[in-house]
Structure 1
Amino acid sequence: MTYVVTVDACIPEDTPEMDPLQRAGAVALIEDGFDSVKAVEGPDGVEVDLLDTIVAVHPGGAVLKVVVDAPALEFAEDAVHALVDELLERTELLADWTIERCEVELHQDLARQSLDAAEGPDAPPDDPAARKARHSENPTPKAAADQNPAATVRLRMLALAAEPRHSFPPSLFAEPPAENDEGHADGAAVPSESAQLAAGAMLYTTDILVEELFEDLQVLTQEDTTVAECEGPLWHLERLPDRYALQYDARFARRFLVTVIAMNTRITDGTFQRPRCVAEELALRFLLHQATMTLELHNLLDDAVSAALDTFTDKAYDHTSHEWLYDPPASTSAPLETTLTPFSSWFTPSPEPSHPIADKPSM
């Protein structure tokens, strides 16, 4: 069965964060290490096949996505942990790094197949009526907790917004009252709790966005095709600008996913200031969309929360040129090719200095 293992590897404590050149070197070292391995021996001598890897390095370490074929979840997790541990140990420049997390993530379709195929004394009855009767006789704490999932999600979002280190303080989502000609406040600010909920939704959906983009990558890889020609379902990549759909292949999807992981890392560790390139502008657009959809799914998206997300959007971008990829402005007389960032430069950092979002006044 195929498992996705997420590994967080961190540089030693009390050491300076890596600069861009060091991060590029770390990527090369880790990828070279993975390239030299086709399979790894798990517990009890069980062989686990290495299918694919994605490496995203940030100033404080790296996030690794390792896809393996293993007979059971525990074998996949233990084998990948042992592999990454050995890879770091035998690479002199990475020997002091530590593994902070090593979790198995099962593809949704495979998880469903696994549940459908489940057998044993604890498996639920095949007959729906019998399952319902069994469930009524033996309610579980989880079932009780799931009676109000929206409230649980809301509390989680608010808790994330209250954490001190991330780059999305609720103040970025709260529109201060505007002043009229007489110097008095005109209109109301976004309510504090709505701003907190919007900020928390952005943080809550960072992992969701990564996982769904990873599934998009898997679809393109398996079909060996582009977004324009893909027959399988895609979560996000089909929402990229249509004009380049024939160029969105698995290689592009992998690079875009790494960009999203790196951006999310800066968001959660407090170092994000604003998008650095067109790819990150699009990634932030996806994150805003994901947050909006998640809030709507749980009936948490009201007018005040929508206003909070709009306020953040106005502050987050120096310009809206990435929107021209979808709908070029009619007012410009320049040829379209000269007004758009070339596709080949989407991942190139902007040479223009950018100020933090917090320093930009709302529009």
Structure 2
Amino acid sequence: MTYVVTVDTRIPEGAPEMDPLQRAGAVALIEDGFDSVEAIEGPDGMEVDLLDSIVAVYPGGALLKVFVDAPALEFAEEAVRSVVGELLERSELLADWHIERCEVELHPELAQESLDAANGPDAPPDDPADRKARHAGPPTAEDDDYDAEAQAETVRRQMLALADELRSFSPVMFGVLDDEDDEDEDDEDEDSVSEFAVSPEDAKLAAGALVYATDILVDELFQDVQTLTQEETNAAECDGPLWHFEDLPERYALQYDARFARRFLVTVIAMTTRFTDGSFQQLSCVAEELALRLLLNRTNVTLETFGLLDDGVSAALDAFANNVYEDMDHEFLYDDSMDGIDESAVGAALGVAPMSFKAWFTPFNEGRYVHPFAADESEGAAQ
């Protein structure tokens, strides 16, 4: 059975965070290490096949997704922990790194439900899409021992604790009035001012929800990459369930293959890294505009799932989107009647940036950052 093992590796405690050059070097070292491994010896001499790996490096370490074929979940986790530990020890530059966690991420209640219901009347649906829809939803009031209010409060606290990690954005970006705004509004009616202002509490919850949803989005995109890789197909022709690539502009669905999926995943990671490390200035390319659209959708769905999406938080997210997006031209990609507007006289008059599929990963200008893995390649380099 194929397992996806998540490994979170961290730099030594107290060490300075890695700069972009160091992160690129860490990616190369880890990927080269995986390239040299075909199979891993698991417990009791059991052989575990290494199918694929994805490496995402951030300033404080690296997040790895390792795809293995193993007879049991425990074998997969132990074998991957062993090989990652050996790869780190083997490299002088990574020898001091440590493994924070190494696990196959499963929802315990859903996993137990599937085990208990196997071959029974409550067995999970055979169709993968039906299973995805079933598992994507929250537990219901009919589930034993499920307390919706307690779960919502737990998630709310988690989101609030994560808010400070969104270092690139102040509360003002979420619609909170700053001190100057307050002074300017002193002479105006307070009720009319408060009607449009977002409270600091709502802004903080919205910020934390974005960080919370980032983890979910990245994990789901990893799964989409694996699905497209295994089926050697594209989003339009894929038989397996996809979390997000079906939500990109439909007209290009035949182009969303495994190679594109990897580039898009790296783009999401690069964009959200800039969100959290304090270096974000502007969205860099069309792919990042679409990536933010997916992140905002995932954030709204997650908040709504736990009953946390009230008017104040929704207004905070709307303000965030309005402040981060320079324009909404990317929405033309979802309207077939606007196909080619970027190449038309009307588009030129409106200042619409190139939006053809081949331009999605092209920086809007020289000052924008696109990750080298995702950046457009020359034909020779691609070959």
TM-score, length basis structure 2: 0.74
What aligned pairs does 1:132-211 form with structure 2 within 5 A after superposition?
Answer: 143=145, 145=147, 148-161=150-163, 163=164, 166-176=167-177, 184=188, 186-188=192-194, 189-211=197-219
3-state secondary structure, aligned to 2:246: helix
Choose which of 285, 288, 291 in structure 2 pairs with 1:283.
291
The reply on whether 1:344 has 2:352 as its aligned counterpart is: no
**Which one is further off, 236-245 or 326-335?**
326-335
Is the 8 Å Cα contact of residues 30 and 87 (structure 1) preserved in structure 2?
A: yes
The aligned residue for residue 27 of structure 1 is 27
Fraction of identical pairs, as percent: 64
Cα deviation code 1:219-272 (max 9, x no counterpart): 222322111222333221111123322211011112212222333344444444
Amino acid at match of 1:184: E
**Cα distance 1:342–1:147, how it changes in 2: closer, same or farther (>3 A)?**
closer
2:204 maps to a residue whose letter is: Q
How far apart are residue 68 of structure 1 and its match? Answer: 1.3
Per the TM alignment, residue 319 of structure 1 is displaced from its structure 2 partner at its CA by: 3.5
1:164 Cα shift? 5.9
Q: Distance in 1 between matches of 2:329 and 2:227?
A: 29
d(CA) in 2 for partners of 1:40 and 1:34?
11
Contact 2:166 2:208 (8 Å CA) reproduced: no
Query: Which position in structure 2 is the counterpart of 1:256?
Result: 264
CA contact (8 A) 1:160 1:204 kept: yes
Aligned twin of 1:134: none
Equivalents in 1 of 2:282, 2:206: separation in Å?
A: 17
* Cross-structure match for 1:234: 242
Residue of structure 1 equivalent to 2:104: 104
- In structure 2, the partner of 1:225 is 233
1:55–1:258 contact (8 Å) kept in structure 2: no
Task: Assess if the C-alpha contact under 8 Å between 2:11 and 2:97 holds in 1.
Answer: yes
Q: Which amino acid aligns with 1:174?
A: G
Residue correspondences, number: 334
CA distance in 2, matches of 1:103, 1:169: 34
Q: Distance in 2 between matches of 1:182 and 1:155?
A: 34
Answering whether residue 222 of structure 2 is matched by residue 214 of structure 1, we say yes
Work out the CA distance in 1 between the residues paired with 2:359 and 2:12: 34
In structure 2, what is the Cα distance between the partners aligned to 1:107 and 1:51? 23
Change (3 A) 1:118 1:181: closer
- Deviation, structure 1 residue 47: 1.6
Note closer, same or farther for the CA distance 1:60–1:150 as it changes in structure 2 (3 Å cut): closer
Is the 2:165–2:276 Cα contact (8 Å) retained in structure 1? no
1:287 is displaced (CA, Å) by 0.8
Partners of 2:11 and 2:98 within 8 A in 1: yes
Which has the higher mean CA deviation after the structures are superposed, 315-324 or 43-52?
Answer: 315-324
Specify the alignment match of 1:311 in structure 2. Answer: 319
Gaps of 5+ in 2: 123-143, 369-383
Q: Distance in 2 between matches of 1:172 and 1:269?
A: 16
SS of 1:262's partner is: helix
- C-alpha change, 1:48 and 1:17, in structure 2 (3 Å) is same
Structure 1, gaps ≥5 residues long: 120-125, 129-141, 355-363
1:135 — aligned with what? none
Q: Give the 5 Å matches for 1:32-71.
A: 32-71=32-71
> Are the structure 2 counterparts of residues 231 and 72 from structure 1 closer, same or farther at C-alpha, using a change threshold of 3 Å?
closer
Structure 1 residue 311: Cα displacement: 0.5
Check whether the contact 1:157–1:204 (CA below 8 A) recurs between aligned residues: yes
Contact 1:226 1:250 in 2 (8 A): yes
Q: Which residue of 2 aligns with 1:77?
A: 77
Distance 1:315 1:332, change over 3 A: farther
Question: How many Å separate the matches in 2 of 1:321 and 1:181?
Answer: 33
Say whether the 8 Å CA contact 2:221–2:243 is kept in structure 1: yes
| Secondary structure at the counterpart of residue 227 of structure 1 | coil
Deviation at 1:292, TM superposition (A): 0.8
Kept after mapping to 1: 8 A contact 2:165/2:211:
no
Could you tell me the TM-score, scaled by structure 1's length? 0.78
Question: Could you tell me which residue of structure 1 aligns to residue 346 of structure 2?
Answer: 333
Distance 1:148 1:98, change over 3 A: closer
Alpha-carbon distance in structure 2 between the residues aligned to 1:98 and 1:348: 36
